[in-house]
C-alpha cells in the first residue's frame, strides 16, 4: 500500500520554548513534518517560498500589529491554511481568525503553564488538526502552485539601506542572537561592540558561524553589502562613507572618542551623515552613554532608531541614555529586535 505523503508544517511562534516543543513533539510523527520555523511572519516571509509548506501553525505576540497584514497577504497569495495554537484572549483570537480566514475548528488553546510539557501532551490532537487542515484545503480545490507564485515583497524606498548597531557590556550575546534570527536578505550591517584589540576577529568569526549572514571583521574599504555584517576591529574607529549608490567603510587608527575605540558614536554619526533616512540605528546594552549622541544624529537625519529595553539589558546605561536624549524612536526588547529591524528594512 502506498504511503500517504506527510503534511508539511511551517511553525510561526513568538515563544522560543513553544517552537522547540512543537518541533521536538512532531519530530517522530508519521503524519506531519516540519518544513520550517520562524519567530514571526516577517522572519518567515522569505523562507516560505523555498519550503513550500502545506499548513502554517501560528501564534502571534501582537495580533493587531503590522505583521498580521504581512501574514494576511501571504495567505491570500499562496492559499496556505492556518492552525492557530495560541494563548490569546477570546477577543484577540476571534479578530485574528477573521482577518486570516482561519476555520474555527482550527483554533487550539496553547498551554499557559508548563508550555513544553503541555504541548507534548497535545501532539496527537495537533497532528490530527494539521492533517485535517491540509486535507480540507485539498478537498476545497484551492490552487497550491507555490513555485509559480512570487512571494509578495513589502515596498522598499529607492536606494540602499544600512543598519548600524552599537553595544558594550552584555552586547555579544544579544548581537549573536539578533544576527542568528535575521534573514539573509537584510541590508548591510555595521557593528561596534566594545572589545579590545585582538578579540573582535574571533567574535566576528563566531557570528559568521551562527548566522545566515556573511560576517567578518571590517577592513578599510570594505563594501557594505546586503546579507553581510562588518564588525569594527578593536582599537580602531569604524566609519561609513557614501560610495556611488552604496556605502563603504573606513577603518582608521585614530584616537579614542569618549574613552572608546571603536566608538558607537563615531559609527552612528557617520551613518547619519552618509545614509540619512536610509539608515537604521540600534543601541544595545552597555555601560555609559556611548551611542546616544550618534543615535540622536541618525534620528534627526530621518533614520529609524531603536534602543534596547531595560528588562532585556545586562547594563541599562547606553540604551537608557539614547532613550532619554530622544535618539531612540522605539525602545524594544532583545527578543523583539529582529522583527522590528525586518519591518524597518522591508518598508
Q: Identify the residue whose cell numbers are 557570528.
A: 207
Active site residue 168: yes
Pair type for strands 228-231 and 55-59 = unpaired
Choosing from 168, 263, 312, 313, which is the catalytic residue?
A: 168
Q: Identify the residue whose cell numbers are 561609513.
A: 240
Contact 208, 274 (CB under 8 A): no
Nearest to 264, CA basis, from 309, 242, 296: 296
Active site residue 290: yes
Rounded to 10 degrees, the C-alpha dihedral 303/13/205/51 comes to -100
DSSP string, 37-89: EESSHHHHHTTHHHH--SEEEEE-S-TTSHHHHHHHHHHHHH---EEEEE---
Residue 154: all three cell numbers together: 513589502
> Which residues face 249 on adjacent strands?
240
Chain-centre distance of CA 131, in angstroms? 29
Residues 6+ apart with CB under 8 A from 30: 6
Q: At what angle do helices 264-275 and 292-300 cross, to 10 degrees?
A: 10
Choosing from 222, 290, 309, 336, which is the catalytic residue?
A: 290
Phi, psi of 2 (to 5 degrees): -70, 135
Contact 163, 186 (CB under 8 A): yes
Choosing from 134, 194, 260, 323, which is the catalytic residue?
A: 194
CA-CA distance, 228 to 186, in Å (whole number)? 8
Question: Catalytic positions, please?
Answer: 168, 194, 290
Amino acid at each position: 500500500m502506498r504511503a500517504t505523503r506527510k503534511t508539511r508544517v511551517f511553525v510561526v511562534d513568538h515563544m522560543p520554548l513553544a517552537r522547540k516543543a512543537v518541533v521536538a513533539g512532531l519530530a517522530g510523527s508519521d503524519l506531519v513534518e516540519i518544513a520550517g520555523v520562524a519567530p514571526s511572519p516577517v522572519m518567515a516571509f522569505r523562507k516560505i517560498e523555498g519550503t513550500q509548506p502545506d499548513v502554517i501553525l501560528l501564534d502571534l505576540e501582537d495580533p493587531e500589529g503590522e505583521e498580521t497584514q504581512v501574514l494576511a497577504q501571504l495567505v491570500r497569495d499562496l492559499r496556505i491554511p492556518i492552525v492557530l495554537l495560541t494563548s490569546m484572549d477570546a477577543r484577540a483570537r476571534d479578530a485574528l481568525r477573521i482577518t486570516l480566514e482561519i476555520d474555527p475548528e482550527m483554533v487550539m488553546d496553547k498551554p499557559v503553564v508548563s508550555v513544553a510539557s503541555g504541548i507534548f501532551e497535545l501532539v496527537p490532537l495537533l497532528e490530527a488538526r494539521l492533517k485535517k487542515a491540509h486535507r480540507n484545503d485539498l478537498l476545497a480545490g484551492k490552487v497550491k502552485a507555490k513555485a509559480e507564485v512570487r512571494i509578495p515583497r513589502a515596498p522598499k524606498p529607492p536606494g540602499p539601506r544600512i543598519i548600524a548597531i552599537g553595544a558594550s557590556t552584555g552586547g555579544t550575546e544579544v548581537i549573536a542572537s539578533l544576527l542568528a534570527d535575521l534573514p539573509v536578505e537584510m541590508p548591510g550591517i555595521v557593528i561596534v561592540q566594545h572589545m579590545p584589540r585582538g578579540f573582535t576577529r574571533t567574535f566576528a568569526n563566531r557570528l559568521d558561524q551562527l548566522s545566515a549572514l556573511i560576517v567578518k571583521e571590517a577592513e578599510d574599504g570594505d563594501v557594505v553589502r546586503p546579507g553581510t555584517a562588518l564588525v569594527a576591529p578593536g582599537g580602531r574607529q569604524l566609519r561609513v562613507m557614501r560610495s556611488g549608490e552604496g556605502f563603504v567603510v573606513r577603518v582608521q587608527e585614530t584616537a579614542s572618542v569618549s574613552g572608546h575605540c571603536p566608538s558607537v558614536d563615531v559609527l552612528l554619526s557617520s551613518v547619519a551623515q552618509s545614509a540619512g533616512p536610509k539608515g537604521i540605528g540600534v543601541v544595545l546594552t552597555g555601560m555609559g552613554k556611548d551611542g546616544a549622541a550618534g543615535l540622536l544624529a541618525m534620528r534627526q537625519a530621518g533614520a529609524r532608531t531603536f534602543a534596547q529595553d531595560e528588562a532585556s539589558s545586562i547594563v541599562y546605561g547606553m540604551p537608557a541614555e539614547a532613550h532619554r536624549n530622544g535618539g531612540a524612536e522605539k525602545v524594544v526588547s532583545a527578543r523583539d529586535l529582529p522583527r522590528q529591524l525586518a519591518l524597518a528594512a522591508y518598508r
